[in-house]
């Protein structure tokens, strides 16, 4: 009996010990959960505070950038309001264009190019006024473009200063019919292409081809017929890619003029032989190469024109040439209706 009592006491002791351990374990577990939950809450609070601070910093930075751009734009407009594009304006653009966004950079170069183009009549007048003795032609009249290296050869100090200013403000001088005329140097202007949108950049590239080597002069084509074809196609691609482009109207005129002279020739570079009015074989070859590009409107137009010429025994007469204007306008309308 005593043994049984001892056994029961031992069992009860074991039971009490087990329950006590479980209770302690549960308590410890609960404490750990509470600790973890508190840490998670604190962590989330810290994360939220960090995110809020980051968002506020972004807003502050954007506000500061906008304020800086507004201040820069105000300075740009003051310099832009001068009668002519100045070296001060160009220096300002060079110094700050990388600190503004693409939209504002495009706006600056858009306005710069417009002013350069609008200033040309005044630039021409100023050069002619300072060069009454045609000194520029005496110095470099055998060249198509006046060499910047020959500025120091100019004896007339006022003329020298004027020519320097032209070269320092995105101009070059081209020899047309016995005199040098300022034109916009789009090759130099293209240095801003990395900062502006593709529309204006493509326009500058197209115009750069003409400022590097003008296509027509003194009633003649002075580039190869192949080069002329390629420039026409570049213009069509621009008009197709940018139907409402920043310079859509100007490129349309560019396309119209080039395609007209490509198809009809010029007085001093006709597309036919003088003795028999038969189309020049090299010209016909280029026409056929162009007509093979049926994915382009220009190619489709040349296909029709070639058919007219062939049906006329390859003779280019007034009747054939009278079709050029209609084909050119049809080509433009088709491009714009895409």
Is 252 within a domain? Answer: yes
- pTM beyond 0.85, yes or no: no
pLDDT band at 25 (very low <50, low <70, confident <90, very high): very low
Look at residue 327 and tell me whether its pLDDT is greater than 80: yes
Which DSSP category does 153 fall into?
Answer: G
CA 57, CA 68: separation in Å to the nearest integer?
A: 16
**Is pLDDT of 8 > 70?**
no
List, for residues 231-240, the tens digit of each pLDDT value. 999 999 999 9
What does the pLDDT average to over 178-194? 97
Assess if residue 67 is contained within a domain.
Answer: no
Contact 261, 228 (CB under 8 A): yes
E-assigned strand segments in the chain: 171-176, 179-184, 216-217, 220-221
85, 139, 273, 292, 309 from 306: Cα distances, Å: 46, 46, 16, 11, 5
How many structural domains does the chain have?
1
Ramachandran bin of 293, using left for φ above 0, alpha for ψ from -120 to 50, beta for the remaining angles: beta
The rounded distance, in Å, linking the Cα atoms of 226 and 231 is 9
What confidence tens digit (pLDDT) does each residue in 78-87 have? Answer: 999 999 999 9
* Position 106 in a domain: no
Structure tokens at 272: 């036919």
Is position 94 within any domain? no
Distance CA 301, CA 299 (A): 5
Q: What is the pLDDT of residue 176?
A: 95
Quote the CA–CA distance of 185 and 204 in Å, as a whole number: 10
Q: pLDDT-derived band of residue 134, with 50, 70 and 90 as boundaries? A: very high
Q: Is residue 330 part of a domain?
A: yes
Residue 305 has pLDDT above 70, yes or no: yes
Residue 74 backbone zone (phi > 0: left; psi -120 to 50: alpha; other: beta):
alpha
Q: Decide which of 54 and 137 is more confident.
A: 137
* String of DSSP letters for 65-104: HHHHHHHHHHHHHHHHTSSS--HHHHHHHHHHGGGS-HHH
Bridge partners, 272 (sequence order): 279
Q: Is residue 98 part of a domain?
A: no
Burial class (CB in 10 A: 0-12, 13-18, 19+), 312: middle
Report the 10 Å Cβ neighbour count for 325.
13
> Is pLDDT at 58 greater than 50 in this prediction?
yes
Helix 2-80 to helix 102-130 angle (10° resolution) is: 20
Residue 246 lies in a domain: yes
Range of the domain at 248: 215-338
pLDDT band at 243 (very low <50, low <70, confident <90, very high): very high
* 239 inside domain: yes
């Amino acid at each position: 009996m005593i043994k049984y009592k001892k056994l029961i006491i031992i069992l009860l002791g074991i039971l009490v010990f087990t329950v006590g351990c479980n209770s302690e374990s549960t308590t410890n577990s609960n404490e750990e959960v509470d600790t973890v939950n508190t840490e998670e809450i604190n962590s989330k609070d810290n994360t939220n505070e960090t995110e809020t601070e980051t968002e506020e910093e972004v807003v502050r930075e954007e506000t500061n950038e906008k304020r800086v751009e507004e201040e820069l734009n105000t300075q740009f407009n003051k310099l832009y309001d001068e009668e002519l594009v100045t070296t001060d304006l160009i220096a300002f653009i060079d110094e700050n264009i990388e600190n503004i966004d693409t939209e504002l950079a495009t706006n600056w170069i858009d306005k710069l190019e417009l002013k350069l183009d609008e200033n040309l009549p005044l630039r021409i007048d100023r050069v002619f006024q300072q060069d009454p003795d045609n000194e520029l032609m005496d110095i470099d009249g055998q060249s198509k473009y006046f060499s910047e290296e020959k500025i120091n050869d100019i004896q007339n100090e006022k003329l020298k200063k004027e020519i320097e200013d032209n070269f320092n403000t995105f101009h070059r001088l081209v020899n047309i019919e016995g005199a040098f005329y300022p034109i916009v140097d789009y090759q130099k202007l293209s240095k801003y292409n990395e900062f502006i949108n593709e529309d204006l950049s493509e326009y500058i590239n197209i115009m750069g081809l003409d400022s590097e080597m003008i296509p027509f002069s003194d009633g003649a084509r002075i580039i190869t017929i192949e080069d002329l074809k390629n420039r026409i196609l570049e213009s069509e691609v621009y008009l197709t890619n940018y139907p409402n482009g920043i310079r859509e109207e100007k490129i349309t005129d560019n396309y119209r003029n080039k395609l007209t002279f490509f198809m009809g020739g010029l007085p001093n570079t006709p597309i036919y032989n003088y003795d028999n009015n038969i189309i020049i074989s090299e010209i016909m070859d280029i026409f056929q190469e162009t007509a093979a590009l049926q994915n382009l409107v220009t190619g489709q137009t040349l296909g029709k024109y070639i058919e007219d010429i062939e049906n006329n025994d390859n003779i280019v007469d007034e009747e054939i040439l009278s079709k050029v204007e209609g084909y050119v306008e049809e080509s433009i309308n088709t491009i714009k209706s895409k």
